[in-house]
Structure 1
Amino acid sequence: MTEDKCRPEDRSVKPVAMTSFAVFLTYLTAGIALPVIPLFVHDGLGMNNVMVGIAVGIQFFATLANRGFAGKKADQQGAKQTTRLGMGVIVLVGVAYLLSVFASHSLWLQFGLLLLGRILLGLGESFLLTGNLTWGLGLIGQPRSGIVMSWNGMAIYGSLAAGAPIGLYLYHHFDFLGVSIACIVCPIVALLCNANIPAVPISGGDRPRFSTVLKQILTPGAVLALQGVGFAVIGAFISLYFAAEHWGNAGYTLTIFGLAYVLVRVLFGGIPDKMGGVNVTIISLLVETAGLLLLCFSQQAWHALVGAALTGAGCSLVFPAMGVEIMKRVDAQVRGTALGCFSAFQDIAYGATGPLAGFLANSAGYGAVYLAGACCALIGVVVSLTMLHAGAPRSTA
C-alpha cells in the first residue's frame, strides 16, 4: 500500500519525529543566544537596559510581521521548502552574530549587526514553525494534528531549556565568538537531518480570502491569546516578584514551568485528537487559572513554584488543542495561512502583556499581574464554552 493511499492513522509518525528534532536543533540558535544577548549588550558593549530590551524584543516584531507571508508560502510553494528556507535564514543569524564579533572597531556597527541577527531569527522562526507544522500535517494527516503541534511545541521549549546552559557555558569560556559559531552549526545540522524526509503535495482548489480565514480562526485565536497572558506575566515579572518578597531561586520558576509544560506534552500530547480540542482547552485553562491564583496569593517561595508548575501544565495543551479545532474549520489549501495567523495571536499576547502588566504592577503590586492572568484564563474558559455549545464548523476539504 503506497503512502498516498494509506489512511492517516496508518502512516508512520517517524518522519514527524525527525522534522521535530530538526526544529529542536534549529531553535537551539534561539535558546543558546537568549540568556547571552543581555550579557553581551550590557556588559560586552556597555549599553543600557533600553538597548538590551531592543535587542531581545525586536525578534518578536519580525516574527509577527512575517507570520502571514510564511503561511501563504507554505500553502502555495510547499511546506518542506518553507521549513528549509527558515533553517537557511537562521544559519544567517549566526553569520550576523559572527560579523558583530569582528566589528569591534565600531560599537554601533556591532550593535546593528546583532539587531540584524535578531531580525533574521524572527523571520526564520516564522518560516520554520509555520512550514514545519504544515509539513507534519501533510505527512501524517489532519486527524492527528494534535501530535504534530505537541511535538513541535516540545521541540521549541526543549531547545530553550537546553540552549540556556549551553549558551552560558559557551559565552563564559569562548565569549560571543563561541555562541556565534554554535548558532551557525545547529541549523546546518538540522538541514542535513530532514533533507531526506519527503515533501507533501500542495493542496489545490480555490483559496479563500485572507479575511475569510481570519474569521474562521478568530475565536480559537482569541483563546490562545488569553492563555498566553499567563506565560507572559511569569516570564516578565517572576524575578522581580521573588525579589520583592525576599525569596531566593527565582530562576527555578521558569525551569519548573518549562518542565511541567514539556511533561504534559509528552504524556498527553495525543489527547486533543481523542477528546476534542475544546474539552482539553477548558480543562487546561482551569489548571492554568489555579496556578496563577496560587502565584498571586503565595505566602512562601514553594507556593509560587507549585503555581508555576500548574501554570506550565495548564498552558501546555492549549495550542495543540485549539489547533485541532483550527484544522476542522479551514480547507487543506490554506492550513499554513491559518496556522501562521493562529500563532500570531500568541505573539500579540506575549508582546502586549509586558507593558500593560507593568502599569498594573506599578499601581497594585506584582501579585496583581498574576490575578489578571488568572482572569484572562477564566475568560478563555468562557469563550471555549461558547465554542462547545456552538459546535465548530467543518472545512469543505
Structure 2
Amino acid sequence: MRRPASADPGRMTTTGLTPVTRDRLFTRPFVVLALAELAYFSATGVAVYTLPVYITGPVGSDAAGAGLAFGAFAVVALVLRPVAGRLADTRGRRPVMVAGAVLCAVAMALTAQAASLGGVVALRLLLGAAEAAFFVAAVAALVDLAPQSRMGEALSYNSLGLYLGLTAGPPLGELLVRTAGFAVAWSAAAVLAGGAAALVLGIGETRPPGPPEQGGGHLIHRASLPVGLAFLASTVAMGGFFAFAALRAAEVHLATTSLPLLTYGAVVVAVRVGFARVPDRVPPLPLGACAILTMAAGLAVSAAWAAPAGAVVGAGVMGLGIAFSTPALFAAIFARAGAGERGAASGTASAFLDLGLGGGPIVLGLVARSSGIAAAYGVAAGVALLGGIWALVLAAQERAAA
C-alpha cells in the first residue's frame, strides 16, 4: 500500500494519527482558497434557483427541460473529473482552478442571452466542465496547503465554503430574479465566479515542486478505489435523502416541508465547526465507518417513524453522519496518495460523489415509484449499512498490515 509522501512524526497515516505537533492551518493561502470556494459555490447556488424558473419561464420549456439541463451538467462533470485531476497533477492546481472559474463566469453570463433549451443545455455542458476543473483542483490544493496532522480539520472547515455557498446562493438568486430580473441574476453569478478566479490568482501554485511522482498523471487513482466504494455508498444514501426529504415531510404531514433539510444543514455546519478536530484524533476509516452507519440509522428512523418528529429526528441523525463521513473518508483517500497524485485522487473521489448523488436518486426514485418513499429510504439505509461494513473491513485490513 502506498504511504503518504511525508513520514514526519505526528503526520497522518492510513492507520491513524499520532498528534505530536500542532502545525499551522489558517495560513493566508488556506483562507483565500476557502473564500474562492465560497464565491464559486455561491454562483452555483444562484444557478440552482434561477435555472429551473428560467427554463420554465422565458425559455418556454417545462420541468423535463429543467431536468435535462441539470442532468447534462452532472454527466459532463462526472466524465471530466478524472481528466481535471490529471491536469492538476501535471500542469498545476492554480491554472486548472482559474480555468474552471473563468469558464463558469463566461457560461453564467451567456446563459442570460440563451433563448432556447438547446442553448441553455449547451452552456450547462460548459458549466459541468468548469465545475469538474475547479472542484477537483481546489481539493488537491487544499491537501497541498493543509498540514497532514490537521487534514481532517482542514477538510471540515474547507467544506463550509461549499455548504454556505449552496445555502446562500438560492435565496440570493430568488431575490435578484424577483427584484431585477433574470439577466441580473445570471450576471451576479458570473461576477461571483469571476471573483473566485481572481482570488485563486492570489494563492499561488500549491503543487509540490518537481516532476510528477512515479505513477502520477493517471486518470484514475487506483489506491483510492477501495475507500471510494465506501464513499459511494455514503453518497447514494445522501442523494436519496436530498431527493426525497421534502416529499417525505409532506407525506408525514409536516407543516414546514423544508424543515428536515434545514435541520440536516444546521447539524452539519454545527458539527463540522464544533468538532473539526475529531477526524484528526480518530483513525479515518473507523470514523468513516461509524459515520456511514449513523447515516443508515437516520434513514431507518425516517423510514420507520411515519410522523413529523420522525422526519426531523431522522434528518438530524443523517446530518450527524454526513458531518463526519466526508472529512473522514477523504482523509483516508488522500492518505493513500502521494503529493504528485493528489489531483488524481481528488478526481477519483469526486467522481464517486457524482455517481452517488446523480445515480442514487434515479435508482431510489424507481423504488419510491413502486413501493413508496419509506421503502426507498429503507433501501438507501441498506446501501449505507453495506458501505459502513465495507469501511470496517478496510480498517481491519489496515490494522493487520500495520
Alpha carbons of structure 1 residues 243 and 219: separation in structure 2 relative to 1, 3 Å: same
What is the RMSD computed on CA atoms of the aligned residues? 2.3
- Which residue number corresponds to residue 46 of structure 1? 60
2:142 corresponds to which of 123, 127, 136:
136
Structure-2 change in CA distance of 1:230 and 1:12 (3 Å): closer
- Find the counterpart in structure 1 of residue 75 from structure 2: 61
The letter of the residue matching 1:112 is G
* Residue of structure 2 equivalent to 1:13: 26
Alignment size in residue pairs: 381
Pick one of 316, 319, 323 that aligns with 2:330.
Answer: 323
Match of 1:283 among 273, 282, 290: 290
Distance 1:325 1:203 in 2: 25
CA contact (8 A) 2:97 2:200 kept: no
Name which of 120, 124, 129 aligns with 1:118.
124
TM-score scaled by length of structure 2:
0.88
1:61 & 1:202 partners in 2: Cα distance? 33
Unaligned runs of 5+ in 1: 1-5, 104-109
Asked whether the equivalents of residues 161 and 255 of structure 1 are also in contact (C-alpha less than 8 Å), the reply is no
Whichever residue aligns with residue 115 of structure 1, its letter is V
How far apart, in 1, do the equivalents of 2:326 and 2:343 lie?
15
- CA drift at 1:196: 2.4
Residue 166 of structure 2 aligns with an amino acid whose one-letter code is L
Question: Which contiguous aligned blocks of 4+ residues in structure 1 show a shift greater than 6 angstroms?
Answer: 209-212
> Which residue type is aligned with residue 335 of structure 1?
R
Deviation at 1:241, TM superposition (A): 2.5
CA offsets per residue over residues 38-77 of structure 1, 9 Å max, x none?
1121233332221121012221111101101110111111
> 2:183 and 2:40 mapped to 1: Cα distance?
18
User: What is the CA distance between 1:224 and its match in structure 2?
Assistant: 0.7
Q: Which has the higher contact order (CA 8 A, sep 6+)?
A: 2
Deviation at 1:213, TM superposition (A): 5.3
**Partner residue, 2:270:** 263
Q: Deviations over 1:239-283 (max 9, x none)?
A: 332333343211222222222222222122332222121121122
Tell whether the 8 Å contact from 2:94 to 2:201 is kept in structure 1 after alignment.
no
Deviates more, 1:90-99 or 1:204-213: 204-213
**TM-superposition CA deviations, 1:191-242 (whole Å, max 9, x none):** 3334322322345354327779543111110111101122211222223323
Q: State whether structure 2 residue 113 is matched by structure 1 residue 99.
A: yes
Aligned residues of 1:278 and 1:321 also touching (Cα < 8 A): yes
- AA aligned to 2:148 is Q
User: In 2, distance between residues paired with 1:216 and 1:338?
Assistant: 8
SS of residue matched to 2:202: coil
Are 1:363 and 2:370 counterparts? yes
The Cα of 1:322 is off from its aligned counterpart by 1.3
Superposed, which structure 2 residues align to 1:1-397 within 5 Å?
A: 9-14=22-27, 15-100=29-114, 103=115, 110-200=116-206, 201-208=208-215, 214-391=221-398
Q: Deviations over 1:271-308 (max 9, x none)?
A: 22221211211221222122111110223213201211
Task: Mark the CA change 1:260 to 1:93 in structure 2 (over 3 Å): closer, same or farther.
Answer: farther
Unaligned runs of 5+ in 2: 1-7, 12-21
Q: Which amino acid aligns with 2:140?
A: T
- Between 1:119-128 and 1:195-204, the stretch displaced more is 195-204
CA distance 1:154–1:10, change in 2 (3 Å):
same
Which amino acid letter does the alignment assign opposite residue 196 of structure 2?
Answer: A
Return the TM-score normalized by structure 1.
Answer: 0.89
Counterpart-to-counterpart distance in 2, 1:41 and 1:213: 35
Q: Distance in 2 between matches of 1:119 and 1:319?
A: 26
1:101-131 Cα distance to aligned partner (Å, 9 max, x none): xx4xxxxxx3233223322222111111111
